[in-house]
Amino acid sequence: MKTEEKAQRGEPDEPALPKRRGLNEFALKFATVNGTGSASANNLILRSIFRMGVPVSGKNLFPSNIQGLPTWYEIRVSGEGNTSRAAEFDLMVAMNGQTYASDVAAVSPGGYLLYDSSWPLPKLLLRPEINFLGIPLAKLIGEIFSDSRQRILMKNIAYAGAVAALVGIDQEVILELLSERFGSRKSLFDANREALQLGFDYAESHFACPLPFRLETMAGNDGKILIDGNTATAMGCLYAGATVAAWYPITPATSVAEKFRSLCERYRRVEETTANGAREIRNNFLILQAEDELAAIGMVIGASWAGARAFTSTSGPGISLMNEQIGLAYYTEIPAVIVDVQRAGPSTGMPTRVQQADIMACAYASHGDTKHLLLFPADPKECFEMAVLSFDLAERFQTPVMLLSDLDIGMNDWVIPRLEWDDSYRPDRGRVLGPAELEQIEEFFRYDDADAEFVTPRTLPGFSERGAYFTRGSGHDRFGRYTEDAEGYQQVVDRLAAKHRAASAHMPPPVVKRHPGARFAVITVGSCESAVIEAIGYFAARDLQLDYLRVRGFPFSSEISSFIEDHERCFVVEQNRDAQLRSLLILEAGAPAGNLVPILSYGGLPLTAVQVIEGIETAWKDEA
Amino acid sequence: MKTEEKAQRGEPDEPALPKRRGLNEFALKFATVNGTGSASANNLILRSIFRMGVPVSGKNLFPSNIQGLPTWYEIRVSGEGNTSRAAEFDLMVAMNGQTYASDVAAVSPGGYLLYDSSWPLPKLLLRPEINFLGIPLAKLIGEIFSDSRQRILMKNIAYAGAVAALVGIDQEVILELLSERFGSRKSLFDANREALQLGFDYAESHFACPLPFRLETMAGNDGKILIDGNTATAMGCLYAGATVAAWYPITPATSVAEKFRSLCERYRRVEETTANGAREIRNNFLILQAEDELAAIGMVIGASWAGARAFTSTSGPGISLMNEQIGLAYYTEIPAVIVDVQRAGPSTGMPTRVQQADIMACAYASHGDTKHLLLFPADPKECFEMAVLSFDLAERFQTPVMLLSDLDIGMNDWVIPRLEWDDSYRPDRGRVLGPAELEQIEEFFRYDDADAEFVTPRTLPGFSERGAYFTRGSGHDRFGRYTEDAEGYQQVVDRLAAKHRAASAHMPPPVVKRHPGARFAVITVGSCESAVIEAIGYFAARDLQLDYLRVRGFPFSSEISSFIEDHERCFVVEQNRDAQLRSLLILEAGAPAGNLVPILSYGGLPLTAVQVIEGIETAWKDEA
Amino acid sequence: MTSISKPRIPLATLPANEIGLTVRDYEGAMSTLCAGCGHDSVTAALVRSLFELSIPPHRIVKMSGIGCSSKTPTYFASGAHGFNSVHGRMAPIAAGANAANRSSIHIGISGDGDSLSIGAGHLVHAIRRNVRMLYVIENNGVYGLTKGQFSASADVGSTAKHGEANEVAPIDPVQLALSLGATFVARGFSGDKAQLVPILKAALEHRGFALVDVISPCVQFNNHVGSTKSYHYVRDHELKEIEQDFVPPMRETAARLPHGGTIVVTLPDGGRIRFGTLPEEYDPRDRGAALHYAAQAQQRGEIPTGVLFVDEGTRDIHELNSTPDEPLISLPFEALCPGADALARFQDGFQ
Amino acid sequence: MTSISKPRIPLATLPANEIGLTVRDYEGAMSTLCAGCGHDSVTAALVRSLFELSIPPHRIVKMSGIGCSSKTPTYFASGAHGFNSVHGRMAPIAAGANAANRSSIHIGISGDGDSLSIGAGHLVHAIRRNVRMLYVIENNGVYGLTKGQFSASADVGSTAKHGEANEVAPIDPVQLALSLGATFVARGFSGDKAQLVPILKAALEHRGFALVDVISPCVQFNNHVGSTKSYHYVRDHELKEIEQDFVPPMRETAARLPHGGTIVVTLPDGGRIRFGTLPEEYDPRDRGAALHYAAQAQQRGEIPTGVLFVDEGTRDIHELNSTPDEPLISLPFEALCPGADALARFQDGFQ
Ligand SMILES: Cc1ncc(C[n+]2csc(CCOP(=O)(O)OP(=O)(O)O)c2C)c(N)n1
Ligand SMILES: Cc1ncc(C[n+]2csc(CCOP(=O)(O)OP(=O)(O)O)c2C)c(N)n1
Ligand code: SF4
Ligand code: SF4
Ligand SMILES: [Mg+2]
Ligand SMILES: [Mg+2]
C-alpha cells in the first residue's frame, strides 16, 4: 500500500487531512536505539501531556530485538481528540545515527528535527523545508555524568527536557512526575532533574521556545487514565475472579500474564505470621508458566473443567498451536478464556507489529465443525470490561471465548475513561449443579436437559458421586455416553450450533452511530476505531455523512445484519490482507458480499486516518 | 437428521428410491463383532461380485476399538452402477447377538436375515414382513474344526459360502479367489474351501437358492479394479517420486503411510550382494514415523526445503496440530504435501466415521492471512492422480497442498477404472535454480523476480554459495531479508495472494454435467458424488433436470463461479454441519449466499441417495 | 471373545473398607479392550488399591489422553469424574485440574505412545512441576489403538529374546523420570497384581508427582520382530486379507514376581521378558543409586520392578506456589475481587 | 552499544585453510544481539571450527527455531543456506532436511527455551533417531527474546551463589541426552573459545546426533534472584518505567577453563558459575560412568564441561534406514517411479 510507505516517511499525502499544526494539535516522533532506555524519557513526555489535560496517544514502534536496533516512539497530541496514529510528524527527535536519513525525510514540511550536535549532521541530510535544531547532548551530559550507564540514561532525559521546552510542557507537571517516580531516592531524582533541566535550558536559550505548535493546559483528560490494554486485560481477569492462569511467553501477549502475576501478588497475596513467628505467604491464585501453548491451553481446560476461572494469553502462533484443544473444549463444552493479543503476519511474521489477522483463525479454530465466541475490544477500557465478560460468557455457554485484542491496544498507552467496577457484580457461573441440586434430580446426564439457550448443566469433580460423569472429546450422545451413532452424535452437535446462535444475544452490542438518510457506512473493529472516527469526521466536514458500526462480538447480533441491509455500501476497515472481518460478516451476518467494500491496511503499523480516507476515496473512485 | 436414523435402521423412507430389488440390484449387510476376522469373509464376497462383472461397493462401518464391539459391512450391488451407500438392506447376515434387535429392524420389508441357529433367535425379534434363514453355523463348524482360532475364522467363511449360494455367486470365481489367496499353502486353502462349501451346501439344501434378487455375470467391470483410496494415494506418492514421508499414526490415514512403506519396499528397495557375499539393502526412500504431527509436518517442510518430494498423511486432529507450521510453509514458500483423510467431528470425534469437515480448517489453516491449495478426490482413481498432482502443484507454487480425501474413499474398496500412467511424465519441480543458472544472474534473491504466476525461484542447499539464502518465518522482504517495514512486508504477502489466485488455472477443473435450460443444479465434493449422481437420476426420472458440478480443487476456477451464476439455485451437498464447502464458495467464488442451498449430512456414515433426495425435496418445500 | 465374557467380581457379600464400600464400588464400566489385554489387569489393580485406601470415589479425578490405555479411566471408579481428553495432553490438563482443586486425588492413565511420543514434552514438565498425581503409563511398546506401530518405549522382551540390544535407543520412562528429578518413580507388571497394588497405593499416597510405569502387554499387537503372531506378520501386505480384523483369543499374562530376584515371563506370542525385583537392601531414597541401578539392570537385559525412588521431602505444585490449603475453587469471590475502591486507588497510578 | 560497534576480524591478510578460505569466509551478517551476549561468542567458535575443518560453506546447512539464540545462524557462514523456522520445531525440520540430503552438514542452533520447553519432545526424539547433526543449545537459563522469563534449564550459578539447590528440578540437557542414549554429549562455555572450538569440531565430525550444551550467559536478563540487575529487578512493576528498555553496556564474560579442575566464573551481574573440566583419566566411552559423573558434579554444584560421552560405533538415521550413499534428492526420477508397466502389473492384484 503506497499510503503506508508515504505515511511512514512523513510525506504529505493527497488527499491528506487538513493540516492542523497548532495549539494542542501536533505530532512528535522519537527515533532512538532500542535498549538505551529511551522508553522512559518518551513516557515522561507522554504522561506530562496527559497531565496537562490534552488528549494524547503514544505508539511504540519497536523491533523484535533486545538491543541495538532502531526503534521509534510517536506521540500524537490532539485537543480535538483525534489520537489515532499520526500520518505526519511536526517534531522529530532524531537520536539514532543509523536512521537519520529516513528520520529527516519523515518530518513534514515546516516541521522540526532535533538532533545531537555533538557530532555534525551529514550535509546531504539537510532539507531546506524543515528546521534543524542541534543540541550537543552527548557532550553536555558527558560533562556532568561520569558513569557510562548514567550517561546513556540521562541523555534521554535531557532530550525530554528539550522537547518540554519546545512544545511547552508545564515544568511543574514534569517535575511532579519525576518526583513520583523516584520518590525518596534522592540521588536518582536529582540526576534526572539535572538532565532534564539541561535539555530544557539549552532549548530555551538557543531556540524560539515554544514552537508555533505547542501545548496549553486544558481539561480534556478529566476522569481519565493513561493505561495499556494488557494491564487492563490482566485487571479484568483479576476482577473476574480468575484463579488459574497458564501461559507461554510471546510478544505482544507476555505482559498480560506478567501483569496478572504482579496484580495477584498485590491483591491476592495474604501474608500471615505463624505462631512461631515465621512469615507465611498464601497466594489466592496459581499461575503456571507452561512449557508451550499446547500445555497452556490444556491447563486452562483442566482448571476450568475442575471449576476454576482460568485463562491463557497468547498471540497468533499460540492460537495455531492451541487449535486441537480449542476443538476439545468446544466439543466437550468446557469454558476456556483465551486472550489473543494479535500481531502481524502469518507464521512468526512481525511480532512487534500490529494487525487484526486472527479473526477467521479464531472464529473457526480447530478441525471439524466448530464455531467460537469472540470479543473485540477497541481500547484498554474494553479490554478490562470484556475480560470480565469473557469469563461470564465462557461459563454461561460452557465454551471457549477468545478476546481478540491487538498489539496496538495491548502494548501502547491509551487515554481512556477511568475503569469502573460495580461491587454488586457476581460471576455468572452458568449452569453448575451442586450436590444439593443433584439430589433433586433422578439421574444426571451431562449433555441433557438443555435450557432455552441450549446449555446443559455440568457438575464439578470432587463433590458428589451423583454428579460424576465422563468427559470425552470423542463422539458422545446427550447422556455423555460414547457413541458412534449418527443420531446420538448429531443431537449434540446440533445443540452446539444452536447454542452458538443463542450466545449472540449476550455479546456486547455493536457501537453504532447513524445519521438520518446516510446511504454509506463504515464498519470496523478493535483498534481501528479512532482512525475511522477521524476519517468519518473528515468526510462529514465535506458534507458526506457516513454511518458507523464497530463490531464488538461474534456471533453477530441481528442489529449488525440490519445495519448492513440499511446501507447501500459499507466500507469494512480492518488491518489484514484478506478482509477477514468482512468474510465473517458475509458468512455469519448474511451480508451480501457486494455491499461490503474492503478497506485494508496490513503493513503492521497502527492505522492512520489518512489510510482510511484514501482507502474510501479509492474505493469510491473504483465504483464510479 | 431423521433420514439418517431411518436409513440406518433400514426403514423405508418417504420419498424413497424406487425399489429395485432384483437381478444385480440389491444390498447386503453383515453384522459381526470386530476382531473376529469377518473382514476377510466380507471381502471375499465383495471381490467375487466384482469378478462377476457387476458394479459393487463395500462400506465398512467399524468401531474405534480393536476387539469385541459391533461392526458392520455393507455391500451394494447395482448393475445400473448406483453404488453409493445403500439406504435399505435386502439380506442381513446377523452374526452378532449384541445387535440382533437393530439388525433385524434394518432389513427392508420382504428382505432376509441370515443368523446362526446354533442358538435359538429370541421370539420377540421376529418380524413378519421379513424372512429368517437360520444355519447352525457354530455347531457345524465345531464339528469339523477343533482349533478355537480356526473355528472363529472358518465360521466367517462358512457364512460367506451361504451368502454365495443365496445371491448366486459363481462358485468358480470364489474358489479362484481362495486359491489366489492361499496359493501353495494347501492346508489353509483346504480348510477355507471346506468351510465355504459347508455354508454353501447348507443354504442350497435348506433355502430356495438363489433368492429373488441375485447376481448374474455381466461385463460391468471391464478395465476396472477394486481398490481403497489410501492405497491409491500411496501409489500416487510413489509414482510422483516422493522420497521422504513423515507421519504419525491416526485413523483413517494410517494406511496411507503404511501402504507407502510397503510399496517402497516393493519398488524402491534394491538388494545388492557385496563383494564378501553379504546382502545389502538400499532403500531409495526414507519414511519417518514421527513423534507427533508437529514433528511430521516439520520433517516434510525440512525435506521439501532441501529438495525432496515429501509428504505427510493425517486426519483432522493432525491438521489442527500442524496449523502453525502450515503457516510457516505458506509464508516461507516451501512445498509441502499433506494428505488429510477426513473423519467425523470436532476434537477426537468419531475416528471411524466419515465427514468432509476440514474444508474451512484446511483452506485457511494457520493464524494471520493464509490461503492454501486444496484438492478434493472423489474416489481412489482421483486419489492416485491428485496425489501426483499435489506434488507438482506444491513445487510449482512453492506452498502447502492439502489432499482432502476422507474415510469412505480412503478405507473402503471402490470399483474404479484402472489407473493409468504416462511414462513421459516428469515432475514439475517449479522454479529451482541450479549452480549453472545461478552463474548467469548477478545476485540471487529468494523472493524476487516473480514470474507470471507470481512464483519466485528457489535454490536448494548443498550446491552453491551463490544460491545461499536465509529462510525465515519472520517478516521478510522480497530479497529474503528480515524486515519490519510495512512496504517490504506487504510486497511479499501481496504476491502470495496473487500466487494463490494464479494457481486456480492449474487446479483440476470441476466435473460438470449440464442440461440445456436447467435452472437448478447440485454442487458437491469428494465421496458424495455417487449418491448425488443417483439422486440426480431420481429427479431426472421425474422430469426434473438438475445440472451437476463437483468441485475438485481450491482456489476455485472461474468456471465454478459462472456455473453458479448460470443457475437460479444450487444445492450444495456435503457431509458436515456447517456447510463448509458452501461457505468457501460464498467467500471465494463470489457466490451469492441466497443461491446456494445447503444439503447436509453429518451423521458419519457414507452418504445415501435418499439423504440427498430428501434434502433437496425439503429445501424445495421450504422455498415454496 | 468379546469383553462381555470377562469374569466380573462375584456378587457374593464382599468385605467393606474403612468407609463402608466394597471393591465393586470402585469398578467402572465394562471394558471394551481385547480379552487378555494387560491394561485390564492394571484396572483391576487400581480398583483394589483405591478400595484398600478407602478413598471416597467422588474425591477421585480420572484423566487420560487417547489410546487403548487411555480408555482405562472408564473402567474404574464410576463414582468419580473422568476426563478422556486428547492424545498426549493429559499431563497439562491434569495439572490445570489439580491447580484448581488440590483436594481431589488425580489419577492420570496414559500409554507409551501418549506419554513418550506426542506427550513427551508434557511428561517432562509435569515431573519438573511436581504436580501431585498418580501418573500411570500402561506400557506395551506399541500403539495399540492405531493397530500396532512401534512406540518409543522399550521393545519389551526383545533383548531377552534375541540377545541383542535395541539399535534405536528406546525411551525408558523410569530412567527419564529419575534424571529429571521425579520424586516418585516405580515400575510394575500388569500380570502381578500382588506387587502392583502396593506400588499403586504408595504412589497414591505420595505428596507429589508419582510415576508408575507398568509393563502391560498388548495381546493383539506387539513388537517382537520375528514372532509369527506379531505385528509384522499381521501388517505384511501379502497376507493382509487373510486375518485382517482378527484378534486371536488370548489370556492375560500373569506371573508372581519373586522378592528380590529375577523371573522370565513368557508372553502370549512367545516373547519373553526378564523382570527383576529390588534386593532387600535397596534404598529408594538415593536418586543417583536408583539411576545407576536402572542403567545396570538395562545392561543385564532385565527390567527392574518395584518402587525405585521416593523423595518424601519435596514440595508439590501447590506448596511451591504457596496456594492456600483449601482448593482455589472454594475461595469466595470476595477473596478474589479487590472491589471498586481498590480499582479507584489502583488507577491513581495511571494518571 | 549497538552491534555495529562490535569488533570484527581485521582485514589484514588472514591464513587460509585447506580449501583456501579464510576465517572471514565463515562469517555471516552482523550480529544484532546485545553487546556481550554469550551467543555471539558461540558464533565466533563456530566460525573458527568450520574454518579449521575446511568445510566448504555451501555444504553447510544452518537450522534454528526462534529466540535470541536461534538468530545465531544469521551470523555465521553466509555462504550456506539457513533456516530460521518456528519456535521449538527445529529438530524435526532438520531431520527432514537431513533425510533429503545426507551430504549436507547440518548445524542446528537452539536455546534452552526452544529445546527444553516447547521443543523438548522433539529433542528427545531427534536423539533417539540419531539424526546426524551438530545440535547446539545456547543455554542461558532464560527466555532472552521475550525478555527474561525463567527457562527450564539449570538456574546457572544459582547454586554457587545462594548455596541452595534449585527446588523446581531444572532440566540438564546433558543428563537428559545421556539417559536417552545420545551418541555424542558435550558441554562448553561460551566464554572459553579455546575449549569450545575443539568440542564443536569433534561434534561436527561425529557420525550421528551430537549434542553440545553451551552455557552462554545472557547479559540482559538472567535468573539470579536477588541480583539488582536481574530479571526480577527489571520486571518489578513498581520500577517499570525507570529503566524499561535499557540494556546496561556489558562485556562478554570470558574465562579459560583449566585442564582437569574447576574454576569459578563471575558473570556481569555478579552471579557465579563453578565450571569443572574432565579429569585426565576420564573415559568418554562409558555411558553409565558419564551419567554418574554428571550427576555427581551436579551434586557438588559444579557444571562439568568437555566431551562427556561419545559412541562412535552407532548408526545414524541413514544407516538405520539403509538409504543409499548418495542423497535422496540426487536419485533420478527413473529410480523412483516404477512406470506404467509396473502399475499395470500391480493392479492385477486388485481384481
Ligand atoms: C493428535 C492425534 N494423533 C493421533 C491420534 C491417533 N491415535 C490414537 S491412540 C494412538 C496411540 C496410542 O498408543 P498408546 O498411547 O501407546 O496406547 P495403547 O493403545 O498402546 O494403549 C494414536 C496415535 C490421535 N487420536 N490424535
Ligand atoms: C509458538 C511460539 N510461542 C512463543 C514464541 C515467543 N518466543 C520467541 S523466542 C522465545 C523463547 C526463547 O528462549 P530461548 O530458546 O531460551 O532463546 P534465548 O532468547 O534465551 O536465546 C519465545 C517464547 C514464539 N515465537 N512462538
Ligand atoms: S490392541 Fe492391545 S493394547 Fe489395545 S486393547 Fe487390544 S490388547 Fe489391549
Ligand atoms: S537478551 Fe540476552 S540472550 Fe538475547 S541477545 Fe541480549 S544478552 Fe543475548
Ligand atoms: Mg502403547
Ligand atoms: Mg535461553
**In the prediction, which pLDDT does C222 show?**
66
* Cross-sheet strand order for the sheet of B131-135: B56-61, B70-78, B25-33, B89-94, B107-116, B131-135
pLDDT at D230 over 80: no
pLDDT at B11 over 60: no
Complex ipTM, two decimals? 0.95
**In the prediction, which pLDDT does D5 show?**
34
Categorize the per-residue pLDDT at C4 as very low, low, confident or very high, splitting at 50, 70 and 90: very low
pLDDT at A624 over 90: no
In terms of Cβ atoms closer than 10 Å to its own Cβ (0-12, 13-18, 19+), residue D330 is: middle
pLDDT, one tens digit per residue, over A247-279 is 999 999 999 999 999 999 999 999 888 888 888
Class of domain A511-623: alpha beta
Query: What average pLDDT score do residues D176-188 get?
Result: 94
D107, D62 Cβ separation under 8 angstroms: yes
A583: DSSP letter: H
Query: What average pLDDT score do residues C132-141 get?
Result: 96
**In the prediction, which pLDDT does C149 show?**
85
pLDDT at C168 over 70: no
Query: What average pLDDT score do residues B541-559 get?
Result: 96
Shortest distance, CA C9 to any CA of chain A (angstroms): 21
pLDDT at D319 over 90: yes
Q: pLDDT higher for B333 or B120? A: B333
Mean pLDDT of chain D: 85
In this chain, the answer to whether the domains covering B227-417 and B511-623 adopt an identical fold is yes
Q: Is D92 on the interface with B (CB under 8 A)?
A: yes
pLDDT, one tens digit per residue, over B96-129 is 999 999 999 999 999 999 999 998 888 888 899 9
**In the prediction, which pLDDT does B621 show?**
86
pLDDT, one tens digit per residue, over A44-99 is 999 999 999 999 999 999 999 888 899 999 999 999 999 999 999 999 999 999 99
> Ligand 3: distance of its center to the CA of C135 in Å?
20
D284, D172 Cβ separation under 8 angstroms: no
A537, A515 Cβ separation under 8 angstroms: no
Percent of chain A scoring above 90 in pLDDT: 90
Residue bearing the CA closest to ligand 3, atom 6: C34
Residue of A nearest to C321 (CA): A286
A122, A160 Cβ separation under 8 angstroms: no
Helix (H) or strand (E) run with residue D333 in it = helix D333-336
At the topology level of CATH, where does B25-206 sit? Answer: Pyruvate-ferredoxin Oxidoreductase; domain 3 (3.40.920)
Query: What average pLDDT score do residues C83-89 get?
Result: 98
Mean pLDDT of chain A: 94
Q: pLDDT higher for B428 or D142? A: B428
Categorize the per-residue pLDDT at D313 as very low, low, confident or very high, splitting at 50, 70 and 90: confident
What's at C50, amino acid-wise? L
pLDDT at C224 over 70: no
User: Which range has the top average pLDDT, B17-31, B264-278, B559-573, D11-25?
Assistant: B559-573
The span from the CA of A470 to the CA of A472, in Å, is 6
**In the prediction, which pLDDT does B97 show?**
92
Query: What average pLDDT score do residues A479-494 get?
Result: 97
> For chain A, what are the domain ranges?
25-206, 227-417, 435-505, 511-623
pLDDT at D272 over 80: no
The span from the CA of B366 to the CA of B368, in Å, is 7
Pocket lining: D60 vs ligand 4, CB cutoff 6 Å: no
pLDDT, one tens digit per residue, over A373-420 is 999 999 999 999 999 999 999 999 999 999 999 999 999 999 999 999
Report the CATH superfamily, name and number, of domain A227-417: Thiamin diphosphate (ThDP)-binding fold, Pyr/PP domains (3.40.50.970)
**In the prediction, which pLDDT does B624 show?**
64
- Examine residue A15 and say whether the peptide bond preceding it is cis (omega within 30 degrees of 0): yes
Percent of chain B scoring above 90 in pLDDT: 90
pLDDT at B395 over 80: yes
A512, A563 Cβ separation under 8 angstroms: yes
A613, A533 Cβ separation under 8 angstroms: no
**In the prediction, which pLDDT does D174 show?**
95
**In the prediction, which pLDDT does C167 show?**
58
* CA triple A55-A228-A393, angle to 5 deg: 115
pLDDT, one tens digit per residue, over D22-71 is 999 999 999 999 999 999 999 999 999 999 999 999 999 999 999 999 99
| Domains located in chain C, CATH noted | 23-249+279-348 (3.40.50.970)
Mean pLDDT of chain B: 94
The span from the CA of C342 to the CA of A238, in Å, is 12
pLDDT at B57 over 70: yes
Q: Which atom of ligand 4 is nearest to the CA of D219?
A: 7
Q: Do D83 and B471 touch (CB under 8 A)?
A: yes
> What number of H helices and E strands is found in chain D?
13, 11
Q: Which three cell numbers stand for residue B334?
A: 516451501
Which among A65, A153, A293 is the nearest to D246, CB-wise? A153
Query: What average pLDDT score do residues C321-335 get?
Result: 96
> Ligand 5: distance of its center to the CA of C288 in Å?
29
**In the prediction, which pLDDT does A623 show?**
72
Which among A323, A357, A369 is the nearest to B368, CB-wise? A357
**In the prediction, which pLDDT does B10 show?**
43
pLDDT, one tens digit per residue, over A286-314 is 999 999 999 999 999 999 999 999 999 99
Q: Do D122 and B419 touch (CB under 8 A)?
A: no
Binding-site residues, ligand 1, Cβ < 6 A: B 248-250, 293, 317-318, 321, 348; C 66-69, 87, 111-114, 138, 140, 142-146, 151
**In the prediction, which pLDDT does D269 show?**
64
Categorize the per-residue pLDDT at D154 as very low, low, confident or very high, splitting at 50, 70 and 90: low
Angle, nearest 10°, between helix axes A186-206 and A137-144?
140
The span from the CA of C179 to the CA of C288, in Å, is 9
**Range of weakest confidence among A23-37, A408-422, C7-21:** C7-21
pLDDT at A486 over 80: yes
The span from the CA of B315 to the CA of B295, in Å, is 15
Helix (H) or strand (E) run with residue A131 in it = strand A131-135
Q: Is A426 on the interface with C (CB under 8 A)?
A: yes
Q: Which three cell numbers stand for residue A283?
A: 497466594
Residues 6+ apart with CB under 8 A from B383: B229, B230, B232, B233, B236, B377, B403, B405, B409, B410
Q: Do A330 and B346 touch (CB under 8 A)?
A: yes
pLDDT, one tens digit per residue, over C282-295 is 999 998 889 989 98
Q: Do A66 and D220 touch (CB under 8 A)?
A: yes
- Helix ranges restricted to H, B72-223: 100-105, 137-144, 148-167, 171-182, 186-206
Categorize the per-residue pLDDT at A18 as very low, low, confident or very high, splitting at 50, 70 and 90: low
Chain A residues 80-109 with a CB less than 8 Å from chain B: none
Query: What average pLDDT score do residues B203-216 get?
Result: 95
pLDDT at B349 over 80: yes
pLDDT at C159 over 80: no
pLDDT at B220 over 70: yes
Helix (H) or strand (E) run with residue D40 in it = helix D38-52
Residue of D nearest to A349 (CA): D86
Q: Which of D122, D146, D216 to mutate to test the pocket of ligand 2 (most atoms within 8 A of CB)?
A: D146
Q: Which three cell numbers stand for residue A307?
A: 471449576
Could you give phi then psi for residue D254, rounded to 5 degrees?
A: -125, 150
